Structures are given as C-alpha cells and as structure tokens.
Amino acid sequence: MFSIQRLFSIPWLLALGVSACSSSGTKENPSSFLPPLALVDHAVFVDRGNDRAFLLDLSGKLTPHANQVRLPKAPILAQRRLSLDPATDPDEVLILSAGDLDATESVPSVTALNKSGTQRIYKLAAAFDSMVQSPDGRYLVVKFSQTNVANRLLFNRNEVAIIDLNQPPDELMNPVDRTIRGFGEPPDSIVFSPPLMIHGEERELAVVLFKQVVALVDLKHLDRPEFTIELAASSVDAPTINLEQVLFDAQENKVYLRGSASPDIYVIQIAPRDVQNEPNKNDFVPSLNQLGGGGQLKDMALYGDAPERRLLVAAGANALVIDADSNRVTSIPLPAPATKILLFEGRSPQVDTRETRALLYSLGTSDVVFLDLAQIEDRKQRNAERLKLNSYLDVIPLRPTAGDASAPNQVMLRHAGLLGASIVDLDKRTVNAVSSQVDLKAGTPDAALNGVWVAPSYQNKVGFIDLSDPNKIQPKEVRLDYPVTDLLLFTQAAHQRVLVTHDSSVGRATVLEATDLRDLTRAVTLEGFLLGE
C-alpha cells in the first residue's frame, strides 16, 4: 500500500452526515450514478437520482472539482458517442432520459453532451429504454428493449425513433418516429450497414432483426417505407430461425444473415430500381437467396475481394467456405471444434507475407485453430493448425495503433480463476503466459499504448501488460489505497492518464500516469468531486 498525493474538496466531509443541497436551496435526492464514461480528456458521471452530470477535467492540472450540468428528467442510460476516425471524433456522450409521466413539459429525450457542458436535446415521443448507434456515430436508433416493462397503460414495442446526430434537433424532422413492421413480433436487435452505393449515392441502412423477419430502413431517406422481408413462414410448424448475426458486403451490396436455429444462411441482394415518377418510393429492391450450410452455424465472416469473395462459417467440427455467387460450399474438417471467428491480416511461421487468416475458437475450451485462407478450397484441412492452451473464458483482440503494420498481431485469452491470461502472437503462433493471484474478470485493450489494462473490481491493484515489444512482455502493476470499481482510459489525450474510481457516494478516484504507472509521485487521489456546487 502506498500513500499518494490527495486533493480534497472542502465540503466533502459535510456530506458524510448532511444531505447536500443544490444551488437553488432545494434538497437533493440520494445520488445514484450510471457507469462512468470517458471522453478524450474528461470523465463523465451521470447522477440519475438528481438529473445531472459531472464533468471531471483530466487534461491538465488536477482539481477536486467537477463541472456540474443539469440534465432532462430521469436519465436511465448513457453511452459514449462512437466514431471511426479519432480526427473527427465528436467527443460526446449520449444520455437517454425517461422524462416524467405526470408532467407534460418533461418528455423523454436523448441529450448529446460534450466536455464543455453544451447540450443538444432530442425530444422523443415515447419512453424508450434502449439505444443503438451506427459505427460511425452519425445515427442513433432509440427503442424498447426486450425486457422493458413500460410504466404506461399502452405502448408500441415496434416503435422506434431515429436520430441524425450530425443534425440539430427538429421537432418535425429530427428525430423521426417510425413503427417497424414485424408481422406481429417485436424486434430483437438493430445492426447498421457500412456505406453502400445505391444509384450513385452513399447510403447507410438500418437492418432490424426479428425472430424470422428482417426489415431494411434507408437512413438517408426516412420519408420512404422500410422493406420487411419474411425469411420463414409464420405458421406454427414452420422452421425456427432466431436471427442473430448480420454481415455486409459493400462491394456487391449484399446482406448475409444467420440464425441460431437454422442450418441455412440468408442472402439479401440490394439492386437499384427506377422510381423517377414515384419520389416517395424506395429506389432499390431487395431479393432473397438461401445458402444451405448444413449443421449448426455458429459464426461467419467475409474475406477476399471480388471475384474471390468468400464467406467463412464456423460450424462446430467443420469450417465452411461458401462462394455466394456459385453457391459452392467447401467443408474443412477442423482439428478442434470452433464456434467463433477472428479474421486478421498477418504472417505465419511458414509464410512471411501478410495475408488474410483466421483464428477459430470456442469459449470454455482449451484449443484454438489457425486457418490460412489462401488456397483453402484446395488444401482444406492442410491449412489448419491447432494450438493447445489452458481453458479460456474470453478472447480479447489487442489491436495496435491504426496504420502500424509492423506492430504484432496479438490476442489475450482470459482464463478462469487464478490461471491469469495468455498472450497469443497470431503471426508466430506462440503463447506467453501471464500469471495472476486473483481472478482477472476482464481486460481493457489500449490501442494507443499497445497493451491491455487489468483492474479487477474490488481488488486494490491495477495492472498493465505492455505488448509493444513482443520479445519482452513485462506486466506492471500498482497497489492502490482503495478497491477498484471502474477503470477509465485517457490515453488518446495529450496528457495520457488513467482514472480508477473507488466506491464512494461523494466521488473518490485515483489518477495515474498511463505511461509511467509506477511513478507514484505523480499519482493523485481526488475526493468529493461528486458533491455538486
């Protein structure tokens, strides 16, 4: 245990015996916080008990004070807004609020909040409880979850609200309220396509999955109706599909769908059509094809460029390679069963050229299988190699900094109990064991520092495994004064730091230097930053 510099907020001791009051003098409710979120250089704590957010600045000199921002009534969910490019990251959090059922002026809403406290509030027509973002962070679909029990007399579980986060709120145009047709069943999930070229225009589609039905929504033209496609008959004795996975082929405008209870893969081809005289009609039409995979299909991935585009499917004891154009299926017996696929661009011990390869695995087992995809349809099982390990519970990809082709391809396998973790070099197909005296629970990859952070909840230690040098894997750790509740990374910021929160109703956290974890002279404990002003 070490002693570190502390910064205390003067009124924090008062909170131990007296309820805090807001600046207006009204008595506050007991604080109840959503899981904290990290912006580039600010931590965000949403207090759902008092309809507010605290913004803790970690960019420069640390102070025991967080900027307080009022939020719409009853925040229930918060997410960091996604981004594909750090250079254009909007650096916002999205907060879903339920509003007040008994007050017409307090309606459900989504708030986009940035680190300066500026907000955009998108008002909603229903008290949704779930949010799904497009990978580029532009579109947000707000919906009812499958477990939602709305505190209302009536609600439509097929209703959604679609928000263009790049545009300001507009009561008539943004959000757009829709009811997605599902032939009597509510939607299970929503997946967003990458940009697709249709009629010379870049589009994104929202693919809404039901048990047996899929709906396609053109996000660029929300005035047009969705396509609802029934993949199986709705009769009682019809085969079950239970759709759960979607892949997109942006080169050929195809959508691949897999269900947990179906031996087939469903392919939707999106083709343009002329609607010059029908402006409110879709200018594309989907057609459905069915590929017979056989057996239980567990995962799938697309690889290669046309005309060598292929679909790789994990099907237990076999891997399937499917040519969707010819419907040709090649079955490859595997040396160990697999239910998951991880594609990567890398080398092998025999071939020093970077090619598309695959790691196939099943959680809860002790084997992984490397599959070289070049000439796989001819070489079959000769392209498969088995690697024996301890039984593992998670496979965590450790992506290096974008564009760094020289960085090693690695994954971390988290083992059960006290077995720690294994770092697998996908190029060399070697394993380095990292032992632990506690159950690691999880790992947090850090692309900026080419490593992985480990901070098991309610343990008073934080560790970092530096993977930038594959020839020297040396874990580092630091002992804290208090047990961990959450770990937030700020390694994309100019001043690279890590924030470790501790259990406290008034706010307690340890700030560590990410690039020099053991420099305890620069570690700081902040206390009392969630008291309010």
SS (H, E, C) 493-511: CCCCEEEEEECCCCCEEEE
Predicted local confidence at residue 405, as pLDDT: 60
Predicted local confidence at residue 105, as pLDDT: 74
Question: CA 351, 372, 404: angle at the middle one, nearest 5?
Answer: 65
Predicted local confidence at residue 280, as pLDDT: 78
Q: Mean pLDDT, 10 residues at a time, over the chain (533 residues)?
A: 52 40 60 95 96 96 90 97 93 96 83 98 94 97 80 82 97 95 85 94 95 94 93 68 95 94 93 80 92 85 90 95 87 96 94 94 97 95 96 88 66 90 94 88 90 90 88 88 95 95 94 90 91 71
Helix (H) or strand (E) holding 344: strand 340-346
Using the structure block, give the residue that is written with the tokens 């509510």: 186
Predicted local confidence at residue 406, as pLDDT: 63
Predicted local confidence at residue 5, as pLDDT: 63
Predicted local confidence at residue 149, as pLDDT: 61
User: Quick check: helix, strand or coil at residue 116?
Assistant: coil
Taking the CA atoms of residue 395, residue 490, residue 141 and residue 54 in that order, the dihedral angle to the nearest 10 degrees is 130
Mark residue 403 as left, alpha or beta (left: phi above 0; alpha: psi -120 to 50; beta: remaining). left
Predicted local confidence at residue 151, as pLDDT: 67
**Strands in 251-306 per DSSP E:** 254-259, 264-272, 284-292, 299-303
C-alpha to C-alpha distance for 372 and 381, rounded to whole angstroms = 10
Ordered strands of the 451-454 beta sheet? 444-446, 451-454, 461-466, 474-479
Predicted local confidence at residue 140, as pLDDT: 98
Predicted local confidence at residue 375, as pLDDT: 94
Predicted local confidence at residue 19, as pLDDT: 43
User: Quick check: helix, strand or coil at residue 167?
Assistant: coil
Are the C-beta atoms of residues 158 and 182 closer than 8 Å to each other? yes
Using the structure block, give the residue that is written with the tokens 């939607």: 187
Q: Which residues pair with 227 in a beta bridge?
A: 216
Q: Which residues pair with 35 in a beta bridge?
A: none
Predicted local confidence at residue 133, as pLDDT: 98
Predicted local confidence at residue 404, as pLDDT: 58
From the list 317, 366, 312, 383, the residue with the least C-alpha distance to 341 is 312
**Strands in 426-479 per DSSP E:** 430-434, 444-446, 451-454, 461-466, 474-479
